[in-house]
Chains A and B, each alone.
Chain A
Amino acid sequence: MRGIAFGRTRTWLLAVALFAWVLLLACPRPALGQDATHPAGEEVILATTTSTADTGLLDVLAPLFLEKTGITLKPIAVGSGAALELGERGEADVLLVHSPEAEEEFMAAGYGIERRTVMVNDFVLVGHAVDPAGVAGASSATEAMTRIATAGAAFISRGDDSGTHALEQRLWKAAGITPQGDWYTESGTGMGDTLNITAERGAYTISDRGTYLALRDRLGLEVLLEGDPALLNIYHVILVNPDNGRDIDTAAGLAFLEFLLVPETQAVIGGFGVEEFGEPLFTPCADGCSVLDLEATPAAGTPVSSS
């Protein structure tokens, strides 16, 4: 009887000890570099795209922004389409997207009050070295797409209203092709997953260079076409119109917008990715990218005033 009692107590103690340790583990510890509670109490909600988040650029910019302005950046990574929708509803303060046509509609409808170019990267057409459709020799992106459609070679589309998807649709339209058939598949997922599917199926796809570089080693895919101006991917920052909804923090949004455009930040953007991939993922473009023959988007409406 004694022995049984002892065993019971020990098991009980062990259970309690384990549980206590787990609870202790869960207790928040103050100031671990990034504070859960903000002394200034100010936050800005940034709606952006998965490709931006996936590269890790925002993780680098957020602490710099906090240091500079005391405002905490809350990046919500959804697709460009969803980001614009959130902006329209006023659920975000500022947007960082790369879907020019949709953005222009957005601005025309008055949902945004300020739109500036931040950075550029480009898209690439990737596929296996085998290249059944003979894309590698094409002289333009449009021609490459035509070759794929004619050969009926497998092509994976994002299919999710993202900036990448919008660009792909533009290319099809320019080629005068409506893509349909067994060879054309919509993945409905983010860039990384889409690339994985492409690799698995020996297909083609359009990807932003950044995500492709991040996954390059794993994929076994090659860049078959690049450099065509039609493949340029321009990132814009858009300040959401405070009239879109309640509690929109325009001041904080503006602070972020300006932060992105200042030379120090632009330099950080320009250097991002070199360490990991050997080449930068983005080209900073706030003042125009002469390299790519692109001009800065002119400031819309009233001149921006710094706060």
Chain B
Amino acid sequence: MNDLTGGLAEAGRLLFGGNPEVWEIVRLSLRVSLIATTIALFLGLPAGATLALVRFPGRSMAVGAVYAGMGLPPIVAGLLVSLLLWRNGPFGAAGLLYTPAAMILAQALIATPVVAGLTMAAVSALDPRYRLQLLALGAGRLQAVWWLLREARLPLIAAVIAGFGAVISEVGAAMMVGGNIKGETRVLTTATVLEVSRGHFETALALSFVLLGLTYLVTIALTLLQRRADPARS
């Protein structure tokens, strides 16, 4: 217990004692994960909606792939992105490896199936007559999809929260494609791993508390949004 309270105190000291390194790590963690989640949103939402609403040949396989992707281990995602971004890989010339851009890419790869899968589930759960009602009212195909997404907005917000949660807490991909370089690609998770292997357990705990607090801030913002959208509560 001493460790926990010590860690909590250290967390406070690190954050508010004006430790610039920690703030930089926090900033980078948020930047990478928020951008990755946004990319996942723009790719995953339409993909999930399409899978839910359109019957095309090979749909079952696509659905299976999305569900498998939800369980993609972050280290595997890191490995795949490394293969692409290594100097001798197809995109090596871009020089993206060991930069935040590579981390964003890998995290987007992790989050997109999560968002797509949960979107698909959310839209499939809607009463199928809603689509008919929208068409009967005169909505175009895309208009109908947009309104259906609005109908499912509560579980969709949960999908985004799930995607964000998956990437802010992962370490395998960030380590592999980022390299945990101080001041450049060191994020909260990789920094924690480093402190643990150095034996600085109090600092590691402190960083963990910072990570948890941060995650909580983002999820509570999204949860308040969800509450506001829920008619049962207003």
Residues of B within 8 Å of A246, CB to CB, are 87-88, 92-93
| Inter-subunit contact B221/A91 (CB<8 Å) | no
Residues of B within 8 Å of A76, CB to CB, are 98, 179, 181
Residues of B within 8 Å of A35, CB to CB, are 183
| Inter-subunit contact A215/B199 (CB<8 Å) | yes
Complexed CA–CA distance, A245 and B181 (Å): 23
Residues of A within 8 Å of B196, CB to CB, are 192
Q: Which residue of B lies closest to A12 (CB)?
A: B228
| Inter-subunit contact A36/B228 (CB<8 Å) | no
With A15-B221, A91-B86 as known contacts, state yes or no: A26 contacts B183, CB within 8 Å. Answer: no
Contact of B30 among A7, A25, A56 (CB under 8 A): A25
| Inter-subunit contact B194/A54 (CB<8 Å) | yes
| Inter-subunit contact A27/B27 (CB<8 Å) | yes
User: How near does chain B come to A38, taking the closest CB pair, in angstroms?
Assistant: 10
| Inter-subunit contact B198/A22 (CB<8 Å) | no
Contact of A193 among B24, B86, B197, B217 (CB under 8 A): B197
User: How near does chain A come to B131, taking the closest CB pair, in angstroms?
Assistant: 29
Interface size class of A (residues with CB under 8 A): 35 or more
For residue B20, CB closer than 8 A to chain A, the reply is yes
For residue B34, CB closer than 8 A to chain A, the reply is yes
| Inter-subunit contact A14/B234 (CB<8 Å) | no
| Inter-subunit contact A62/B182 (CB<8 Å) | yes
Complexed CA–CA distance, A90 and B220 (Å): 45
| Inter-subunit contact A18/B217 (CB<8 Å) | yes
| Inter-subunit contact A247/B26 (CB<8 Å) | no
With A218-B199, A218-B201, A245-B88 as known contacts, state yes or no: A28 contacts B221, CB within 8 Å. Answer: no
For residue A175, CB closer than 8 A to chain B, the reply is no
| Inter-subunit contact B224/A14 (CB<8 Å) | yes
For residue A68, CB closer than 8 A to chain B, the reply is no
* Interface-central residue, A25, A45, A72, by most chain B CB under 10 Å: A25
| Inter-subunit contact A36/B183 (CB<8 Å) | yes
Complexed CA–CA distance, A248 and B234 (Å): 61
Residues of B within 8 Å of A22, CB to CB, are 30, 34, 214, 217-218, 221
Q: Which residue of A lies closest to B181 (CB)?
A: A74
Residues of B within 8 Å of A278, CB to CB, are none
| Interface SS of A by simple majority | helix
User: How near does chain A come to B233, taking the closest CB pair, in angstroms?
Assistant: 9
For residue B31, CB closer than 8 A to chain A, the reply is yes
Residues of A within 8 Å of B86, CB to CB, are 89, 91
Residues of B within 8 Å of A91, CB to CB, are 86-88, 97
Residues of A within 8 Å of B194, CB to CB, are 53-54
| Inter-subunit contact B27/A26 (CB<8 Å) | yes
Residues of A within 8 Å of B222, CB to CB, are 15, 19
For residue A190, CB closer than 8 A to chain B, the reply is yes
Residues of B within 8 Å of A12, CB to CB, are 224-225, 228
| Inter-subunit contact A15/B197 (CB<8 Å) | no
| Inter-subunit contact A15/B182 (CB<8 Å) | no
For residue A33, CB closer than 8 A to chain B, the reply is yes
Residues of B within 8 Å of A7, CB to CB, are 234
With A28-B31, A34-B184, A247-B92 as known contacts, state yes or no: A192 contacts B199, CB within 8 Å. Answer: yes
Complexed CA–CA distance, A12 and B30 (Å): 22
Q: Which residue of A lies closest to B23 (CB)?
A: A32
| Inter-subunit contact B179/A75 (CB<8 Å) | yes
User: How near does chain A come to B60, taking the closest CB pair, in angstroms?
Assistant: 37
Q: Mark A176-204, 1 if CB is under 8 A from B, else 0.
A: 00000000000000111100000000000
For residue B192, CB closer than 8 A to chain A, the reply is no
Complexed CA–CA distance, A214 and B199 (Å): 6
For residue B119, CB closer than 8 A to chain A, the reply is no
For residue B227, CB closer than 8 A to chain A, the reply is yes
| Inter-subunit contact A90/B88 (CB<8 Å) | yes
Q: Mark A5-23, 1 if CB is under 8 A from B, else 0.
A: 0011001101100110111
Contact of A192 among B30, B97, B198 (CB under 8 A): B198
With A18-B221, A77-B180 as known contacts, state yes or no: A247 contacts B87, CB within 8 Å. Answer: yes
Interface of B toward A, CB cutoff 8 Å: 20, 23-24, 26-28, 30-31, 34, 86-88, 92-93, 95, 97-98, 100, 179-184, 194, 196-199, 201, 214, 217-218, 220-222, 224-225, 227-228, 234
Pairs across A and B, CB under 8 Å, 6 listed: A15-B221, A22-B218, A32-B20, A35-B183, A53-B194, A62-B182
